[in-house]
Amino acid sequence: MFRRYLLPVIVILSAAMAADAGATSVYSMFLLGEPIESGEVRSISLGGSTQIVDDSLGVVQLNPALLSRVPRVSIGATQYLAVDEGRNSEYTERDISFTFSSFRAVFPIAGLFRFAVGYTGRYEPGSGFTLRGETEGGDEYSQRFEKSGGLYSVPLTVAFDLTRFASFGLTFSFEQGTIENQWIIVFDEFGFTSGAGIQKEDLSGHGLAAGVLLRPFGGLVLGGMYEDAIEYDALISERYSTSSLDTAYTATLTLPRRVVLGATARLGSDFLVLASGSWRDFGGVEGQAIPEGGLGAEQSVSVGAEWLRGVRVGGIRFPLRWGFKYEQAPFEYPAGEKVEKFLVTIGTGVRVRGGKGKLDIGIQGGRAGSLGANGIEDRLVRLYIGIAGGEEWKKKGAELF
């Protein structure tokens, strides 16, 4: 039913077995692209966007119940600068990009009932991939694949306290995006293009997520979120170097349901320790142009710690944050080899305007895939910057930490 969907991925998988490859990220060519860490910078610095921390940004990615603990009317945004390097034993490509990943505005409705609206990036497929090969007749050629565009969400979130020990949140989101795949084949000796094409996918849908936050005793906080499966209506158009092959059609793309669990504990007055995990199963998803059995579970585990007192510089205290995240991709490359990602992050922040605003910074580095197991390795560096400001409500809710 979806034979032509994500056609460039099929071409990459088949051609990579017989050609030398180079990429800024071959892995982001799969499915919808690379997931965006769009939570608040503090949570990213603590290991990932599933961590339970008191912030006003990205709650649809974290846990919508967190909104109930935001102590003020807040407006903020997160941006990051990415430097990606993809390489194999013979080839290296580098890409630099800047992404505005989230915006959030939080407002009181009545008492401790709260509402938020914003913008959240989901997937950023920007990448390039080059294959070098040779025909049976000895003619050398190169194949260039590029993926661009993006998928984003406009979430509407409400949250409230069930009791003094429990909170509940619900998010309804409008999902939109455009993803464009381009490919071109050039024979070096003859200097001509034997084939080229552009596939454009306009996606729209809606999502629903619910979260619970529990504070059983002391400084322990437990949280969980369930995000229902999202079905995107896709209008797909394809244009080729031979115009008679041009076509357009519709399809449905499913993003499977996701489960997130997390825990945060306060140790004394100065330290926080955090752990969380997420799981999403692509195994039953159809129409991805991936061979049967080629998709499985996407899962991640994060740990983090924060020294709240931090260090004092010029009369200002800077908290110190550290995080580690492990991810396993839902696909294999090549067949039989799982793709793993390891990320380490450090960060800090500073309060401004008498504590009514803040600036957070995080630096993340890591690796996706490995030369030994996958033949292609991505080196990742991210610089995250987040700003937020707000005013106290007439009736202030209790803060988490």
* Residues 171 and 153: beta-carbon distance below 8 Å: no
How would DSSP label each residue in 108-137? Answer: EEETTEEEEEEEEEEEE--EEEEEEEE-TT
> What pairs with residue 323 in β-bridges?
304, 345
User: What is the distance between the alpha carbons of residues 236 and 355, in angstroms, rounded to a whole number?
Assistant: 49
In a 3-state reduction of DSSP, which class is residue 45? helix
Q: What is the pLDDT of residue 396?
A: 45
User: What is the distance between the alpha carbons of residues 334 and 338, in angstroms, rounded to a whole number?
Assistant: 8
* Residues 77 and 223: beta-carbon distance below 8 Å: no
Q: For each of the chain's 401 residues, which pLDDT tens digit applies?
A: 333 433 444 334 333 433 344 445 667 777 787 888 777 899 999 998 778 887 656 676 778 998 887 767 888 888 898 888 878 777 777 878 888 888 888 887 766 678 888 888 888 776 676 767 777 777 777 777 788 888 999 999 999 888 889 999 999 999 999 988 888 877 766 555 556 788 899 999 999 999 999 999 888 999 999 999 999 999 999 888 777 778 999 988 888 999 999 999 999 889 999 999 999 998 877 655 565 567 889 999 999 999 999 999 988 889 999 999 999 999 888 878 899 999 999 999 998 766 678 899 999 999 999 988 888 888 999 999 998 887 765 544 444 44
User: What is the distance between the alpha carbons of residues 168 and 171, in angstroms, rounded to a whole number?
Assistant: 11
Sign (positive/negative) of CA torsion 177, 47, 281, 166?
A: negative
Count CB neighbours of 125 within 10 A: 24
Q: Which two tokens stand for residue 376?
A: 């292609």
Helix (H) or strand (E) holding 254: strand 247-255
pTM value is 0.84
Q: What domain count does the chain have?
A: 1
CA 302 centroid distance within chain: 14
Instruction: Give me the amino acid identity at 282.
Output: F
In a domain, 146, yes or no: yes
CA proximity to 66, closest of 157, 175, 172, 163:
157
In a domain, 210, yes or no: yes
* Residues 68 and 58: beta-carbon distance below 8 Å: no
Enclosing domain of residue 163: 7-392
Domain CATH code at residue 268 = 2.40.160.60
Q: Which residues contact 251 (CB under 8 A, 6 or more apart)?
A: 1, 2, 5, 234, 236, 287
In a domain, 2, yes or no: no
* Helices and strands: H and E segment counts in the chain: 4, 19
Tokens 């305007």 sit on residue: 353
In a domain, 300, yes or no: yes
In a domain, 397, yes or no: no
Instruction: Name the pairing type of β-strands 230-240 and 192-214.
Output: antiparallel
* Residues 78 and 57: beta-carbon distance below 8 Å: yes
Instruction: Name the pairing type of β-strands 127-134 and 140-163.
Output: antiparallel
In a domain, 214, yes or no: yes
In a domain, 224, yes or no: yes
CA proximity to 367, closest of 359, 349, 356, 379:
379
Q: Which two tokens stand for residue 11?
A: 């071409």
Extended beta strands in 215-245, E state = 220-227, 230-240
- Is the previous residue joined to 71 through a cis bond, with omega within 30 degrees of 0? no
In a domain, 399, yes or no: no
